[in-house]
Amino acid sequence: MIEDKNKVDVLLRLTTLLQIVYFLINVIAICAQGLFITTAELITVSFIACSILAAFFWWHKPCDVLSPETIEIDVSTEDLYKLTNPESTYRWELTPLDWVSREEWWWAKVWWNYMHILRGMGFSFGSDTKLIDRISDTFQGPLPSREQYMLLVVTTGCFIIFFLAWNHDFPTRTESVFWRAVCTVLMSMLYVDLIISEFIQAYPELQKRTESWNLRSPSPSTTRWGKIRMPSCLSVLDSPKPKAVTDRIGKALEKIRNNSPNKDPSLRLPLRIILPMYFLAVVYWICRGYILVEDAIELRILPGSAYATVQWSSLWPHFG
């Protein structure tokens, strides 16, 4: 049984939750007494919102299960594959049972693309073996619209906590302006992602309509007088040199579409998706990087109340 190999029990999970709740209560008490709260504490509160939800949904998720259970069958996985796909060649990327289902949420595929970039920079994530020894936490099947909107609400709540520091007493006016700009950009990006997600879901239907329209429309290369002749000045495109350049550009673009080590076909993404997501990723990490820097440099100048402790007896007199 998987539960028998679970390395995390209920006591450990409860201890973690108690620590999180204690910190949250302490921050609320600091605000109630009018004491100074740092941006680092505020950002921690936003992480707590995600942590509590993750703890709720992962309460029964086994952790660090390292001992596998071997299941022996009388037929090979390749033979099973041929029963359902007799015309195609058997191939797998993560596990020999890839053919059962490799459907993933489009955002999970984008995340895989990001991770492969970091792998190319020397960072290691997950399993580096051909036969993976664990399923990544980022692996996510197609996410229905209802769950996507639930995720949007939760993320919006986390980002709203950043806005609580809108009138925060920053050391300089410039830091205050940067913080407000970063909060606004992060919240805007969240809804840009929503628009992209809706477009991706509607894209197959739009593509079908476009193809149907193209079938009813005349070919752009022909007219009522016959074929359109290509201008002689464009014949240079047929020369070997531009073709070689075009091939190199095509290979580079294909590497962007699918940068997985083994060119896993299920991880291929259209440029119209991955290029905007690259831009959003760069902007996002710049914003988050500034937040981390601000959390640190704010500590250089703090008011005296930042060092004061909560007087619990003033909140609950019977504690005194």
DSSP 233: G
Query: Cα–chain-centroid distance for residue 149?
Result: 15
- Give the up-direction half-sphere exposure of residue 25: CA atoms within 13 A in the CB hemisphere: 9
pLDDT digits (tens, 9 = 90+) for 39-90: 999 999 988 877 777 777 777 766 666 666 677 778 777 777 777 777 777 7
Q: Which of 130-134, 139-143, 299-303 shows the lowest mean pLDDT across its residues?
A: 130-134
Query: Which residue matches tokens 């410039």?
Result: 174
Q: Is 227 helix (H, G, I), strand (E, B) or coil?
A: strand
pLDDT at 123 over 90: no
**H helix runs in the chain, sequence order:** 10-32, 39-57, 77-84, 106-120, 145-163, 173-216, 240-257, 271-297, 312-315
Structure pTM? 0.72
**SS3 category, 226:** strand
Tens-digit pLDDT profile for residues 24-35? 888 888 888 888
Lowest mean per-residue pLDDT among 13-17, 101-105, 113-117: 101-105
In contact, 5 and 65? CB cutoff 8 Å: yes
pLDDT tens digit string along 223-248? 443 444 444 444 444 455 566 778 78
Q: Which residue has the higher pLDDT, 252 or 86?
A: 252
Nearest to 39 by CA among 286, 294, 287, 285: 294
Give the per-residue pLDDT at 127.
59
Q: How far apart (Å, rounded) are the C-alpha atoms in residues 20 and 45?
A: 9
Task: Look at 276 and 140; give whichever has higher pLDDT.
Answer: 276
Residue 298 per-residue DSSP state: G
The proportion of the chain whose per-residue pLDDT surpasses 70, expressed as a percent, equals 74
SS3 call for 115: helix
Give the residue with greater pLDDT, 2 vs 228: 2
| Half-sphere exposure for 265 (CA within 13 Å, toward CB) | 4
> Tell me: the pLDDT tens digits for 179-201?
999 999 999 998 888 888 777 77
